[in-house]
Structure 1
Amino acid sequence: MIEVHSSDDVGCNYTEEQYEQKWVELVNGYLKQISNAFGFKEVTQACDYIWLEDLEGLLDSKKVVAVGECGLDITGRPSSKDFEKQKDILGKQAKIAQQKRLPVVIHCRGNYDTSNECLRCLTDNLPADHHIHRHCFNGSYAEYIKWKIAFPEVKFGISPFLLNEIKYPQFRVLVCKMELRDLLLETDAPYLPGADGSTGSPLLVKDLAEKIANPHNVSTEEVARITTDNAKKLYKIKEL
């Protein structure tokens, strides 16, 4: 199984020296089985547009398979100006992804309106056949269908939210309605904990596959095979 997780975003909280060191370690491809994705998310007015030039350079480095995470996030209650800048930066990153023919990893946190704004930013800047990964998707069935109609190649990341049925009972119902060909397995480790509250780990992909298998009436191995194929096609990964 492939654990799908984009690298930490090119953030504005680093000093220039920390920024350079952090990405030198990643872009040189020291770990052969790890591929990189670079992008901005949760931007504020303090973020300088010059960082987009740095991003374009990073996307030309070794083993880069996507632009992201990038997207919209209102959980920190951004000002209207900050939110407008988020949308502007997202649109610019989408254009870069189109130019470089790279998939986009979307971080979208908020409500249904946030999702609609995010989708509008993408439809304004990307063709309908562009590859998109909705990272840690936990929206509604209506939202799932709306994104599929807009971007038929979109894939939805299923995260450890699925393992916590007490806190997220509606998520299991949603996943049961989704098609396996639309799903990716991801843990967002170490940020999302396991069902028992333990620190998140990429090993949780096995638990996710087992949880998805039963309601879809297939084996765990079949879920692993299908979601791995989905990830390979989305990110154009030829060999593991």
Structure 2
Amino acid sequence: MGKNNKKKSNIIPAETYLRLPPLADASLADQPIIDTHTHLVSTFSTYRSKYKNGTLYTIHDFVREMYHNRNVRAIVDVWCEAPVLMAWKELADSALTAEDREQKWGRYRLLAFTRVHDAKSYNDAVEASILEAMAHPRCVGWGEMGLDYHYDNSPRAIQQEVFIRQLNHAVRLGKPLTIHTREAEADTERILMEHVPADHKIHIHCFTDSPDFAQRLLQHFCNLYIGITGVITYSTNLNTSNIVSQMAMSDGGPRILLETDAPFMVPSNLYNSIPEIKGSRLPLCHTAMIPWVAEYTAGKAGHPWSGADIMKRANENAKTVYGVQ
């Protein structure tokens, strides 16, 4: 799960709609946006491929324009390329100083990144490059790593071997974990409990598996948080809504992080705010769509949670896990 299975129109809305309408809820607009999982290079590449005559020519242009007046405070930029690309360092270096962040990123305040590689391509050289990235001052965690038994792009035994190898390094370095797990509940749970201390910081990215699985992880790991993306808005996915409802009823409230996983999974409730493009679909997601994810999540959390409450709680959790604020 993770893609909307509804039949989509081939009509791509004009580029201007990517800039998004104003938020109807002023309290949502007042909350800073922290996107704890986005793929910036892939998002910009998708933009350029879908809008051949697009007006934005660099990643910095894209970020400044799409985030303009959107109160974006921070993103965690996730790298998943294999073989390893060195573009991460260029972007990370471009956010080292306050002056660079102001001039090159506009309202963008923090570039941080995590990395993952297709298990069958993983080797000592790949690992060495990740370890180099882990030492960069803008790096906030290791991932996304984990198991995917839905696509099975690599043999499961190799997936598990690489997962354990990366976990051991990340725990040794004290790096928060960004975990991708899909249809691999038993093995993911077993490996995490065998190799990760119960108080380690963990982000289960784009959660779509069973609520019971989530509850077992939440009970065992005191610093584990569930990542919520636009997939929560899809009718094909009930699991994410159910675990949000369960967490909201717990004493501590929802242990969630908000993320986009851009360029994927545009939140479907966004289209209620853009009725003029009814029947077509935006070709990519981006960080400024987070408030729509929060708004829908609040509806599943129920009273007394508002969209602004969800964003505030998620931002507090992002500070706990990744140190971003």
Which is further off, 33-42 or 145-154? 33-42
Give the deviation of 1:151 after TM superposition: 1.2
RMSD of aligned residue pairs (Cα, Å): 2.1
For residues 197-221 of structure 1, give each alpha carbon's deviation from its aligned partner in whole angstroms, at most 9, with x where no partner exists: 4221212211121112231422222
1:55–1:128 distance in 2 versus 1, CA, 3 Å: same
**CA distance in 2 between partners of 1:38 and 1:220 (Å):** 27
SS at match of 1:91: helix
Q: Tell me if 1:222 matches 2:309.
A: yes
SS at match of 1:155: strand
User: Aligned ranges for residues 1-240 of structure 1 at < 5 Å?
Assistant: 1-5=33-37, 6-13=76-83, 19-20=85-86, 22-30=87-95, 32=101, 33-44=109-120, 46-78=121-153, 82-109=155-182, 111=183, 114-164=184-234, 166-179=235-248, 180-195=253-268, 196=271, 197-198=281-282, 199-214=284-299, 215-237=302-324, 240=325
**CA distance in 1 between partners of 2:80 and 2:236 (Å):** 31
1:29–1:146 distance in 2 versus 1, CA, 3 Å: farther
Give the deviation of 1:228 after TM superposition: 0.5
**CA distance in 2 between partners of 1:216 and 1:102 (Å):** 35
For residues 106-155 of structure 1, give each alpha carbon's deviation from its aligned partner in whole angstroms, at most 9, with x where no partner exists: 0112x2xx122122222222111000000000111101111112212100
Give the deviation of 1:170 after TM superposition: 4.6
Letter matched to residue 104 of structure 1: L
**CA distance in 2 between partners of 1:88 and 1:51 (Å):** 15
TM value normalised by structure 1: 0.85
Q: What is the aligned length?
A: 226
Letter matched to residue 88 of structure 2: W
Contact 2:36 2:257 in 1 (8 A): yes
1:117–1:41 distance in 2 versus 1, CA, 3 Å: farther
**CA distance in 1 between partners of 2:190 and 2:239 (Å):** 26
**CA distance in 1 between partners of 2:289 and 2:94 (Å):** 25
Percent identical pairs in the alignment equals 23
**CA distance in 2 between partners of 1:124 and 1:173 (Å):** 27
Contact 2:142 2:178 in 1 (8 A): yes
Contact 1:10 1:55 in 2 (8 A): no
1:132–1:232 distance in 2 versus 1, CA, 3 Å: same
Contact 1:42 1:73 in 2 (8 A): no
Give the deviation of 1:10 after TM superposition: 5.0
Give the deviation of 1:29 after TM superposition: 4.1
**CA distance in 1 between partners of 2:91 and 2:191 (Å):** 29
**CA distance in 1 between partners of 2:307 and 2:296 (Å):** 8
Contact 1:29 1:62 in 2 (8 A): no
Give the deviation of 1:161 after TM superposition: 1.1
Structure 2 residue runs without a partner (length 5+): 1-32, 38-75, 102-108, 272-280
1:9–1:121 distance in 2 versus 1, CA, 3 Å: farther
**CA distance in 1 between partners of 2:305 and 2:187 (Å):** 36
1:174–1:122 distance in 2 versus 1, CA, 3 Å: closer
Contact 2:92 2:111 in 1 (8 A): no
